[in-house]
Amino acid sequence: MTVGSVDGAVGTENIPASVRALSSLPAIDYADLFSLSTDVNATPEQWARAMFGDVPTVAELLIWRVILGLRLSGGRSPATVGGWRIGDRGEDWIRLEAASWFLTGNLLVRTAEQRVSLATFLHYARPVGDTLWPPLSAVHRRLVPGVLRQAAARVRAPDEGA
């Protein structure tokens, strides 16, 4: 199993239009995209569940529900991943959606060309989003490469036992 490096891009102008077009947001105020090269073969939903699980972890609840106020599902469901609602999907992507009183977010997981990518898109519904997210985004950008690498290990694990 080969896992390569993680590449990242921040800012809507640095995200390919084909990826931005998969967002459901009326306007994108924040965007980033991180990609991991890998030969692990899994569906976008399998990757998303490897990244975020079926229900949010305590740490995710702290960040997503407490700090960002996102309304998340609390239980396991085929319609959610990590508490985020599955908004739409295609052959090589799945979009997760959640909103709070001041922002709306999309997490987009895409598999293409022996890469798995995680894009984060935010729309600030109120000015507090533009104040709160920038310092949190620095932490987010430090965490995402590890999220991708850990997901690769989780997706790979069932195959290693075979």
Q: What is the pLDDT of residues 148-162, one digit of tens each?
A: 999 999 988 765 544
pLDDT mean over 135-156: 91
pLDDT tens digits, one per residue of 2-59: 456 788 888 888 999 999 999 999 999 999 999 999 888 899 999 999 999 888 778 8
Residue 160: the pLDDT is 54
Give the per-residue pLDDT at 61. 81
What does 58-120 look like in DSSP terms, one character per residue? HHHIIIIIIIS------S--TTEETTEEEEEEETTEEEEEEE-SSEEEEEEEEEETTEEEEEE
What structural domains does the chain harbor?
A: 3-157 (3.30.530)
**Cβ atoms < 10 Å from Cβ of 133:** 20
Q: pLDDT for 92-127, tens place per residue?
A: 999 999 999 999 999 999 998 889 999 999 999 999
Q: Which residues contact 60 (CB under 8 A, 6 or more apart)?
A: 52, 82, 83
